[in-house]
Chain A
Amino acid sequence: QSVLTQPPSVSGAPGQRVTISCTGSSSNIGAGYDVHWYQQLPETAPKLLIYANNNRPSGVPDRFSGSKSGTSASLAITGLQAEDEADYYCQSSDSSLSAVFGGGTKLTVL
């Protein structure tokens, strides 16, 4: 049971836009902690995709964007490409002085 809640799966056709939600509580996202997103391609380590709610590290395409409101956050991917097929995780901090993750969302490109 993950502290942050994500849909288990989403899908979209090439070129489409998809969003992945991440729902927390008043002890983590709602407490004002930033949300970060990671992309995990099959059999590889996670990679930082979005940090501090809506910032992209160098090298991450601007097709990826993040937002946060209240106790939730979202990751949006526009112009979907086959190479975007991966697992996506949100992460925040918690008033229990720990890092917390979502359960992960598997993105399928149809």
Chain B
Amino acid sequence: QVQLVQSGAEVKKPGASVKISCKASGYIFTSYYMHWVRQAPGQGLEWMGIINSSGGTTSYAQKFQGRVTMTRDTSTSTVHMELSNLRYEDTAVYYCARSRFHVTADGNFDYWGQGTLVTVSS
């Protein structure tokens, strides 16, 4: 069965960076895209960007350009998301989510990780 298992909760200080991992199993890793979506406490979902699990090409939401980096390791079927220069408002649950197609081709998110809580606190 398809599983996306994320790394554990993190507490970071403002200005620091955080790197979250998402390990995929149960499907052909390189046949799907991976996205990162975040949800601030009590708020809605916010798309951060997409990575092609095969070629590694990325596309980021304009809001996060310059602060986010998504990478993948095909040998371990793992995707990583690093967010730098953290601010208090980056406190959120971060989800990885899989799609068969790119967002420009009507991609939807058919499986989600369990979420990783990142708390930014001094």
Q: Is the CB of A104 within 8 A of B103?
A: no
**Interface size for chain A: under 10, 10 to 19, 20 to 34, or 35 or more residues?**
20 to 34
Contact B108 A34 (CB under 8 A): yes
Interface residues of B (CB under 8 A from A): 35, 37, 44-47, 50, 59, 61-62, 95, 97, 103-104, 106-115
Binds B, one of A17-25, A47-55, A75-83: A47-55
A45 within 8 Å of B (CB atoms): yes
Query: Least Cβ distance of A55 to chain B in Å?
Result: 10
For the complex, what is the distance from the CA of A100 to the CA of B114, rounded to whole Å?
21
Chain A residues whose C-beta falls within 8 Å of the C-beta of B111 in the assembled complex:
48
Q: How far is the CB of A31 from chain B (nearest CB, A)?
A: 11
Contact partner, B47, options A48, A51, A101, A103, Cβ 8 Å = A101
Residues of A within 8 A of B (CB): 2, 33-34, 36, 38, 45-48, 51-52, 57, 89, 91, 93, 96-104
Which residues of A are found within 8 Å of B109, using beta-carbon distances? 36, 38, 46, 48, 91
Instruction: Flag if A103 contacts B44 (CB, 8 Å).
Output: yes
How long is the Cα–Cα vector from A22 to B37 in the complex, in angstroms? Answer: 19
Interface of A is mostly: strand
Report how many A-B pairs have Cβ atoms within 8 Å.
61
Chain B residues whose C-beta falls within 8 Å of the C-beta of A48 in the assembled complex: 108-111
Distance, CA A88 to CA B44, complexed state (A): 10
- In whole angstroms, how far apart are the Cα atoms of A36 and B37 in the complex? 15
- Determine the chain B residues whose CB is within 8 A of the CB of A34 once the complex forms: 106, 108
Query: A46-B45, A89-B45 are contacts. A98–B106 as well, Cβ < 8 Å?
Result: no
- Report the separation of the CA atoms of residues A5 and B43 in the bound assembly, to the nearest whole angstrom: 14
Give bound CA distance, A104 to B111, whole Å: 19
